[in-house]
């Protein structure tokens, strides 16, 4: 009887320690909202017995994922990119996760340094934000336009590769 009670107490303590460690890790990588989402459902933590000890494994904890959904570069001059002619850039960024992402830093910019628009936004689950602007290239040649979400890489994600889109424009 004592052994079963001790094992149950040990399992409970192991779960508490695992929650504390997970909370510390999440604070460093993504903010307090993610902790609340993970801690809200304790069924995601389960004790695992064996080998004379108790371990705790974490089941499918929610992961954040921010994605550049759409990226448009539109000429205002009959679909031809020309110097001294306005070009519109638009980028839609979506929170594809089940947790709120606070203070998401995003940017669209061009390689010639002539254009840059930054945005900081809190996104609820499945919410999107569109950042856009217009620039006028001063020179002919190739200009790279890019959209990037989570610029400071503060959010740990399942897929970091879908945070950016890049396109090369040939300007006449």
Task: Compute the distance between CA of residue 137 and CA of residue 28 in angstroms, rounded to an integer.
Answer: 40
Query: For residue 58, what are the CA distances in angstroms to 7, 49, 112, 114, 130?
Result: 19, 14, 47, 47, 35
Tokens matching residue 134: 């217009």
Do 49 and 72 lie in one domain? The reply is no
* pLDDT for 46: 47
List, for residues 37-89, the tens digit of each pLDDT value.
444 444 444 444 455 555 444 444 457 899 999 999 888 877 789 999 889 99
Give the number of domains in the chain. 2
Q: Are 8 and 47 in contact (CB under 8 A)?
A: no
Q: Specify the DSSP element, H or E, that contains 3.
A: helix 2-29
Task: Compute the distance between CA of residue 156 and CA of residue 30 in angstroms, rounded to an integer.
Answer: 7
Per residue in 18-40, is it b (16+ CB within 10 Å) or e — as a string? bbeebbeebeeebbeebbebbee
List, as one string, the DSSP characters of 17-64: HHHHHHHHHHHHHT-HHHHHHHHT-GGGEEEEEETTEEEEEE-----B
Find the helix packing angle between 32-39 and 2-29, rounded to 10°. 150
Among residues 20, 38, 58, the one where a domain terminates is 58
Do 70 and 54 lie in one domain? The reply is no
Range of the domain at 140: 66-171
Say if pTM beats, i.e. exceeds, 0.85.
no
Residue 56 vs residue 126, higher pLDDT: 126
3-state secondary structure of 87: strand
Q: Residue 141: pLDDT above 90?
A: yes
Do 116 and 151 lie in one domain? The reply is yes
Confidence of residue 114 (pLDDT cuts 50, 70, 90): confident
Do 122 and 166 lie in one domain? The reply is yes
């Amino acid at each position: 009887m004592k052994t079963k009670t001790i094992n149950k107490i040990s399992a409970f303590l192991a779960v508490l320690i695992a929650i504390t460690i997970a909370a510390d890790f999440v604070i460093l990588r993504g903010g307090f909202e993610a902790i609340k989402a993970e801690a809200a459902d304790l069924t995601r933590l389960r004790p695992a017995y064996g080998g004379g000890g108790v371990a705790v494994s974490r089941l499918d904890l929610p992961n954040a994922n921010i994605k550049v959904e759409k990226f448009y570069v539109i000429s205002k001059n009959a679909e031809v990119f020309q110097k001294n002619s306005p070009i519109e850039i638009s980028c839609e960024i979506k929170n594809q996760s089940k947790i709120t992402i606070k203070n998401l830093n995003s940017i669209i910019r061009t390689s010639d340094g002539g254009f840059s628009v930054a945005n900081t936004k809190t996104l609820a689950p499945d919410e999107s934000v569109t950042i856009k602007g217009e620039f006028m290239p001063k020179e002919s040649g190739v200009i790279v336009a890019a959209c990037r979400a989570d610029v400071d890489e503060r959010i740990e994600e399942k897929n970091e590769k879908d945070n950016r889109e890049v396109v090369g424009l040939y300007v006449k």
